[in-house]
Amino acid sequence: MALSRARIGGDLLLRLLATQRLLRITARLKTPVISSFHETQKCFLSSKTKPGIARTIITKLKSANQRYERFLEGNFPRFYILYTTFFRGFQLLFRDAREFQRIQVKLTKQGVHRDQLPYREMELLRQFRRDIIKVAPLVLISIPPFANYFVFVLMYFFPRQVLIRHFWTPKQQTEFANIYHSRRAQVYPLIVNKLVSSVPAITNSRLQTQMLHLCTKVQGGMHPSVEEIQLVRQLFTGPPFGMKRLEAEHMRNLSPVLMLTSMLPAMLLQRRLARHSIELLQLDRALWALGLHQLTDQELRNACYLRGLNATCLNTNDCREWLHHWLQLTVTLKDSEASLLLHSMVLLSVNYPEGSLH
C-alpha cells in the first residue's frame, strides 16, 4: 500500500509539474495552450493524422484518464479532490489568460480606453493582475531543479497563502473569504472612531452635526442610508477627509479595506488608495450600465465582497439590495471623491444586514 501511494503521488506530481511547465511556456509564447481533452481532440483531428487513427488515440487516452480518475476517487478520495481541483484550476487560469490577452489587444490595437470596457472585462483585468502577482513567487521558486517537489508541498499545506481562488475547493473559497474579511473588519471600528475624532475639525456647523449623527448611528449598530452619506460628501474632497488630507495612520487603517498592504511609506499609500478607489469607481459605472439583473449569484457575492461586505452568509436578494444602494451612491461620485467611496465601504458594510432598517 505504501508503494502504491508513492507511485500515485509521483504520478500526480509529474502531471502537475508538466502542467506548470506548459503554463510557463505559454506565458513566454503568449499563445493558447491545450487545456482540456476536447481541445486535444480538435488538435488531433485537425492534424495530418488519419481520422481513424486519431479517433482511436483519443478514445484510448480518454479511457485511460477515466480509469485513472476512478482509481484515485475510489482509493484516495482526498487526493482525488486535490487532483481535480488543481487541474480545474489550471484550466480556469488558462481561460483567464486567453481572455486577458484578448482584452489587452483590444486596449492597445483598437484604441479602447480601460474605463470604456464592459463590466466583466474590466473586472477580469483587475482580478487577473492580482492573481498573477500572487502566483509569481511560486513560479519563481519552481525554476531550480527538483524545486517543484517543494512547491507541491507548499501548495498542499499552504493553499491560502500561495494559491489563488482557481485552485481552492468551494469549501476553501468560503473559509478563506471569511478569514480575509475578518482581518479587514478589524479596522472598521478604528476608521469610524477616526471619523468621529475628526468631527471637531469641521468648520461648518451643519456638516459637523450631520457627520456626527452619521458616525454615531454607525457606532450604535445601525445601518446608515445613502442619503445620510451624500449629505456629507463635500467633506471627502478637501479637509478633513479628502484623499490628500488623510493622515498616515488613517491610510494604514484604510489599506486593508481594499485588501492592500499597509507597510508602505505614506506617499505610496496615498497613491495606491487613490488608484484602487478610482478603479472601483470605474467598475461601479460599468456595473450600473450592465445592470445588476445581469449578474449571476456568484458574481453578486463577489461584487459585494470586493466592496467591503462579506456576502458568504447572505442570500441573493440581500446582495442585490445592498449593491443597488451602493451604486446609488457611487455612480454619482467623481474621481475627486474617491475618499468617500473608500470610507463608504466601511460605513455601508459594518452593520449590514443586522443593523439595517428594512
- Give the tens place of pLDDT for each residue, 332-357: 999 999 999 999 999 999 999 876 64
Q: How far apart are CA 22 and CA 14, in angstroms?
A: 12
Q: How far apart are CA 192 and CA 214, in angstroms?
A: 10
pLDDT band at residue 6 using 50, 70 and 90 as cut-offs: very low
What average pLDDT does the segment 62-71 reach? Answer: 70
Contacts of 40 (CB under 8 A, 6+ apart): 34, 58, 61
What average pLDDT does the segment 75-102 reach? Answer: 83
Cβ neighbours of 287 (radius 10 Å) = 24
Q: How far is CA 347 from the centre of its chain?
A: 21
Give the pLDDT confidence score for residue 32 in this predicted structure.
36
Give the pLDDT confidence score for residue 153 in this predicted structure.
80
Q: How many CA atoms lie within 13 Å of 256's alpha carbon, on the beta-carbon side? A: 18
Whether the predicted pLDDT of 39 surpasses 60: no
pLDDT band at residue 296 using 50, 70 and 90 as cut-offs: very high
Whether the predicted pLDDT of 271 surpasses 90: yes
Give the pLDDT confidence score for residue 151 in this predicted structure.
74
Q: How many CA atoms lie within 13 Å of 290's alpha carbon, on the beta-carbon side? A: 22
What average pLDDT does the segment 104-115 reach? Answer: 88
Whether the predicted pLDDT of 30 surpasses 50: no
DSSP 225: P
